[in-house]
Structure formats: C-alpha cells, structure tokens
Amino acid sequence: MNNKIKSLLIPLIVLTVFLLSWELASFWGYLKPTRFPAPSKLLMSFLDLTFSGYPADVTIDQHLLKTIERIIIGFLLSVCLGVPLGLLIGGFQALDRLTSTIIAFCRSIATLSLLPLAIVWFGTGEQSKIFLIAYGCFWVMLSNVIEAVKQVDPLMMKAAKTMDTDGIELFLKVVLPSALPRIFSGMRISLGVGFMVIVGAEMIGTVIGLGSLIMEARTFYRTDITMVGMLILGLMGFLMTTGLAWVEKKLMPWQQQVHDRTSP
C-alpha cells in the first residue's frame, strides 16, 4: 500500500469506527441521550434546526449570519482603528516605547472579563457584543501592525533614502508594502480571536447567534442541538482560518506566513 492511500484510509477507518461505536453505544443504552446524543440524532437535529429552527422559527442560517455579522463588524472596527494607530506607533520609536507596556498589559486583560463593563456602557444589545469582539481583535491587530512596521528591513529604508525618497513617499512606497504581509497575518490571527470571543459575548441578552443557541439549548436539555451548534462553530472557524491563510498565500506568495500560535 503506498503512503497516500494509507494516509487517507486510516483516518477514514478510525473515524468510521469511532462514530459507529458511539452510535451503537447509545443505541444499546450505554450512553445517555441527554449527555452523549448519538451521531444519527445529531443529524436529525441538524435537519430540524435547518427546517423548523430552534428556538422556535430561528433557523440555522439566521444564527450563522448573525454570528458572522457580529464578528465581521467587530473585526472591521478593530482593523480601522488598529492599522492606522499601529502604523503611527510603529513609525515613531518614542511612541512605541511609551505604549509598549500599555499594549502588553491590555493584551493580557481577559476580553471576557470586560463583560460587565460592556453591559454598563452599551447595554445588553448588539453594541456590547461588538465592543467585546472589537476589543479582543484590536490589541492583537495593533501589536501585529506595530511589529510589522518595526521589522521593515532598515537596509531597504536606507537604500530608498539614498534615492531621495522621504516622508510620505518613503512610507507609502517602502514601509507599507513590506509591512503588508505581516499586517495581513495579524488580521488572520485577530479574526481568530474574535471568533473565540463571540461565544462568550453571545451569552448575554440574545437568542440569535450560535453562541446563544448552544447555551439556550443546554438550558432546555437539548444537548443534541448544543453539539450541532458546536460542530457548526468549529466548521466555521476552520473554514475562516484556512480560507484566509489560502488568500494570504495567493496574495503574497513571497512571504513566509507568521504562524498563529495563540489560537489552537
């Protein structure tokens, strides 16, 4: 057997055995349906969720769209704030020295610990969720942009300067293009962060969104719905990160990607 077939076949067999034994274990009653709903039950619940919706009439596409909408808005906010600010801080050494400790500290603040503040400042509506996502994304975005500007090859700057490139022109023609790949990686990583925060952010005051779906379903002992929601969240995260990594590779093939070590 050659390697390619092996690396396809073995995972397939293992996955099948895993799902089959799970199915049979619940069929024979070894696994409680409220704790480990069987794979077939999950499939049924998924169809249920697609056609009739949970909670009543809120179908899966509505949950999905709402969650994506929140992530995108929060993410875009953080990009709009983080990129210009990061370029500014990265460009001036004094500014970088003044802010580096603050940024390191703000990054280590747990985003979800801001939940009570978000509620007091923005209520329990959309704004508070977007605030939390934007906060989580922002610091990651900012520190990546700063790092990107700082890592621009000084030799290139000097070369450009000998050719009388200065000020804005130097920035637009030399600094920005060479910082771009890292900035893009920063976007990918910070989108991942937003994706982690969303579940916590949706725990408050809403019934639409994947995060609230899984919490709500748990309250009513619909573990099957919770699991379906989790799998969809996982799939969404997977598609988002691999999709962006792919785009990054296509857009900037000359650049080695910065590996995302923070998100699992």
Partner 1 sequence: MKDFHFQSISKRINLYGLMGILMLLMFWELSARWIWQDIQVLPSPIQCMDMAWQVLTAQELVIHIAASLSRILIGFTFAAVIGVSLGIAVGWYQYLGLAFKPILELLRPIPPLAWIPMAIVWFGLGEPSKWFVIFLGSFFPIFTNAWRGMVGIPPVILRAAQTMDAEGFELLLKVAIPAALPDIATGLRVAFGLAFGILVAAELIASDSGLGYMIMQSRETSRLGVAIFGILLIGFLSMLADDILARLMKKFVSRGRY
Residues that bind partner 1 (CB under 8 A): 6-7, 10-12, 14-15, 18, 34-35, 94, 97-102, 104-106, 108-117, 119-121, 195-196, 198-200, 203, 211, 214-215, 217-218, 223, 226-227, 229-231, 233-235, 237-238, 241, 261-264
Nearer to partner 1, 22 or 184 (CB): 22
Nearer to partner 1, 111 or 190 (CB): 111
Query: What 8-state DSSP symbol labels residue 258?
Result: P
- d(CA 248, CA 184) in angstroms, rounded, equals 7
Q: Residue 78: CB partners within 8 Å, gap ≥ 6?
A: 133, 134, 135, 136, 137, 138, 141, 190, 194
CB of 157 to partner 1, least distance (A): 21
Nearer to partner 1, 79 or 198 (CB): 198
CB of 11 to partner 1, least distance (A): 4
The closest alpha carbon to 193, from 143, 147, 228, belongs to 143
CB of 172 to partner 1, least distance (A): 28
Residue 55: how many CB atoms within 10 A of its CB? 14
CB of 28 to partner 1, least distance (A): 20
- d(CA 68, CA 72) in angstroms, rounded, equals 6
Nearer to partner 1, 39 or 53 (CB): 39
**How far is the first Cα of the chain from the last one, in angstroms, to the nearest whole number?**
33
